[in-house]
Amino acid sequence: MANNDTFRALVVEKGEHELVASLQQLTVADLPDEDVLVQVDYSTLNYKEGLGFANRNKIFRIFPIVPGVDLAGTVVASQSPAFKPGDKVILNGWSVGERYWGGYAQMARIKSDFLIHLPPGMDTKKAMSIGTAGYTAMLMVMTLEEAGVTPGSGPILVTGATGGVGGNAVAILNKLGYEVTALTRSQQPSIHEYLHKIGAREVICGEEWTRPPAPLESQKWAGAIDNIGSIVLARILAEMKYGGCVAACGLAAGFDLPTTVMPFILRGVSLRGVDSVSCPTPRRKAAWARLVTDITDEDLAAINTVIPLAEVPRYAKELLAGNITGHVVVDVNA
């Protein structure tokens, strides 16, 4: 692609009173000066972008910015020996879409250190059907495994199960043979049916999850994957079985943790944080290699909705309002 050839991008600029998002025609010369030029096939929509478009939590740190925390596509030009034209690549995290221009464009220029090669057996659409959400879910599952939680250990709780990370976690754990319980705020039969379809053996949504727990509750869970934080995480810890592990990556309900040391010192419970943004490259590659086989195409089809680039701001608002079930793939060429 020549520097003066145009392509579409979703650009966010800072208006006088609010952020303004618009589809624009850009050229390669408009892109940041990084060492790998990628023709983008797909990106995704995540809760983080919902916060960004709503101008909350200072997600977008530079303006103008092309959001999109991930992408999959084909290398067009490269100054890095690690990548050559024609290579299929994935990008997740590294504050891309926040401090660096991201995936909501047909072309992106990216730091080579932020990219990994697409694993054999996966195409770019499947990669973004998994996306940052599924990659994060895989890191969470790996964390439970490393803590000694096996399919024979007992039930695993997944919170935020109707979201991208939660839904992928349910599907991955079920594929690996775990007994999965999904926690959701929704009492809609269609939502419960969806969660059962992707692998939840049980779906729960009790009022107790809105109330602070006792320091120790009845032992229920051998492991847990939490995207919610706050009171929900406190209750999970209080309900963990002896020696159980909680992998935590989210704070949808808040960043506070109103708990006690009791689960840790009386039941040997562990709480392990999972970060997908700055995760070291070898661990990223290990997670993506497993995602070729550890989640089914049928589950991905049930979890995902594909939208065109122009619909991103509208869907971001709906996602933030809790009106989106599953995971959203952005087709930047549609």
Low-confidence ranges of the chain (pLDDT < 70): 1-4
Q: How far apart are CA 188 and CA 41, in angstroms?
A: 34
**pLDDT tens-digit series, residues 196-222:** 999 999 999 989 999 999 999 999 999
- DSSP assignment letter at 42: E
**Count of alpha carbons within 13 angstroms of residue 222, beta-carbon side:** 17
Q: Of 247, 222, 248, 202, which Cα lies nearest the Cα of 151?
A: 222
Tokens read off for 175: 């594929």
Taking the whole predicted model, whether its pTM rises above 0.75 is answered as yes
CA angle 308, 311, 317 (to 5 degrees): 140
Confidence at residue 16, expressed as pLDDT on a 0 to 100 scale:
82
Establish whether the linkage from the previous residue to 64 is cis, with ω within 30° of 0: yes
What value does the CA radius of gyration of the chain take, rounded to a whole number of Å?
20
* Euclidean distance between the first and the last CA atom of the chain, given in angstroms as a whole number: 19
Contacts with 75 (C-beta within 8 Å, 6 or more apart), sequence order = 36, 37, 38, 39, 83, 84, 85, 86, 87, 88, 89
> Could you say which architecture CATH assigns to the domain 6-118+300-331?
Alpha-Beta Complex (3.90)
> Could you say which architecture CATH assigns to the domain 132-273?
3-Layer(aba) Sandwich (3.40)
**pLDDT tens-digit series, residues 60-82:** 999 999 999 999 999 999 999 99
Q: Of 110, 103, 100, which Cα lies nearest the Cα of 40?
A: 103
Q: Where in the chain are the domains?
A: 6-118+300-331, 132-273
Instruction: Count other C-beta atoms under 10 Å from residue 50's C-beta.
Output: 21
**Contact status, residue 225 vs residue 141, Cβ threshold 8 Å:** yes
